[in-house]
Amino acid sequence: MAERELIVDHIRLTYEGLFEATELYKLIDGWFREKGYDKREIKNIEKIRPEGKYVELELMPWKKVTDYVMFEMKMRIIMTDIKEVEIEKEGRKMRLNQGNVKIVFDGYFTTDYENRWENKPSYYFIRTVFDKFFLRSYTDKYKGMLVSEVNQLHSTIRAFLNLYRY
């Protein structure tokens, strides 16, 4: 079985105010496509409530970096009290969403995702020894790449949401 290690644990992003939900979806989807991730949607819930719309998304995109290393990001997006409002900006009327957005990011580092080193006990032992002593710098480099990609996505979404502050 592949070894899966949690590298980035619960980086949170909260926002309250005006935003455009469809543009947020497009931004996230475009970012994953640009970085070479395959998108996997775990959960997509949308409920209409008296105080506003409730949307919960759970995404788990993944990317094969090498034949041995795979990155997985887990994003949990919760939008509450979403109402559609109309504002006027520079003489034009715009329809935006107003509400609360909470996003939690996790980053998982998976090695031997194809279970090539799990066939025999001797292979498993050799893999463990190699991971511990010889491939440490190799895997540390990729762990750093995963952390930087999660942080880059976090800052991209934060910058996008701050565009709507007036």
Averaged over 21-40, what is the pLDDT? 94
Distance CA 153, CA 134 (A): 31
Q: Is the pLDDT of residue 29 over 80?
A: yes
pLDDT digits (tens, 9 = 90+) for 64-115: 998 888 999 999 999 999 999 988 878 888 888 999 999 999 999 998 776 6
Task: Tell which residue, 42, 18, 37, has the closest CA to residue 153.
Answer: 37
Residue spans per domain, the chain: 3-162
Counting DSSP H helices and E strands in the chain, the numbers are 3, 6
Residues in the chain: 166
Averaged over 132-152, what is the pLDDT? 89
Averaged over 105-126, what is the pLDDT? 80
Instruction: Let me know: does 63 contact 37? Beta carbons within 8 Å.
Output: yes
Indicate the pTM of the whole model.
Answer: 0.86
Q: What pLDDT does 135 receive?
A: 76
Averaged over 148-159, what is the pLDDT? 95
Q: Is the pLDDT of residue 25 over 80?
A: yes
pLDDT tier, 131 (very low <50, low <70, confident <90, very high otherwise): confident
Q: What pLDDT does 133 receive?
A: 79
